[in-house]
């Protein structure tokens, strides 16, 4: 169970506004990437985001490029999870692979406003907002295993070590 303050955005938040292309081929640490998180969407985000905050958005979050930094910069900014009506498949995979929890809330996210506090219970599969519970489907076990290992690289490392056994 986590609880955090909401940063609220709309539909079709694309990877160019999350992490601009001009930085994509510059070597950067995750902490440096975090300084540019959501730069062309909300310039206040990177300055004011607090560890444990939660991004809530509409449909098709993270559409566009395959750039993994879009997930890395959000995770490194301290965000605990991203809740959206739907995700682009590339952002969804990249988030899991970076160990950033993503919650697909098909009910819609219109009622959740910037600055609200929401809870997410991953075990029960519910988002809690204003006293109400909204269910979301559990991740497939193959995908959950990656998230639980902290991302794809630690996950694959573990599998390779087990294979060597």
Is 40 a binder of another protein (CB under 8 A)? Answer: yes
Torsion of CA 45, 51, 52, 53, to 10 degrees: -10
Is 42 a binder of another protein (CB under 8 A)? Answer: no
Among 34, 49, 79, 94, binds another protein (CB under 8 A): 94
What's the CA angle centered on 29, arms 10 and 117, to 5 degrees?
Answer: 35
**81-84 and 102-104 beta bridge pairing:** parallel
Query: How far apart (Å, rounded) are the C-alpha atoms in residues 53 and 34?
Result: 14
**Count of residues binding another protein (CB under 8 A)?**
41
| Residue 67 CB, nearest approach to another protein (Å) | 8
Is 153 a binder of another protein (CB under 8 A)? Answer: yes
Query: How far apart (Å, rounded) are the C-alpha atoms in residues 91 and 114?
Result: 22
- Interface residues with another protein (CB under 8 A) are 11-12, 14, 16-17, 20-22, 24-27, 39-40, 59-60, 63-68, 71, 86, 88-90, 93-94, 97-98, 140, 142-143, 151-153, 156-157, 159-160
């Amino acid at each position: 169970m986590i609880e955090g303050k909401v940063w609220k955005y709309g539909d079709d938040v694309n990877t160019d506004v999350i992490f601009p292309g001009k930085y994509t081929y510059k070597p950067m640490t995750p902490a440096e990437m975090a300084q540019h998180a959501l730069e062309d969407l909300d310039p206040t985000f990177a300055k004011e985001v607090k560890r444990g905050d939660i991004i809530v958005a509409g449909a098709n979050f993270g559409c566009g490029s395959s750039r993994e930094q879009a997930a890395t910069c959000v995770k490194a900014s301290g965000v605990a999870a991203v809740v959206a009506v739907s995700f682009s498949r590339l952002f969804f995979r990249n988030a899991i692979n970076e160990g950033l929890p993503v919650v697909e809330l098909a009910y819609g996210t219109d009622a959740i406003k910037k600055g609200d506090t929401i809870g997410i219970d991953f075990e029960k599969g519910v988002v809690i907002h204003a006293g109400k519970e909204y269910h979301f489907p559990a991740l497939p076990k193959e995908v959950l295993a990656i998230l639980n290992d902290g991302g794809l690289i630690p996950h694959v490392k573990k599998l390779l070590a087990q294979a060597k056994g």
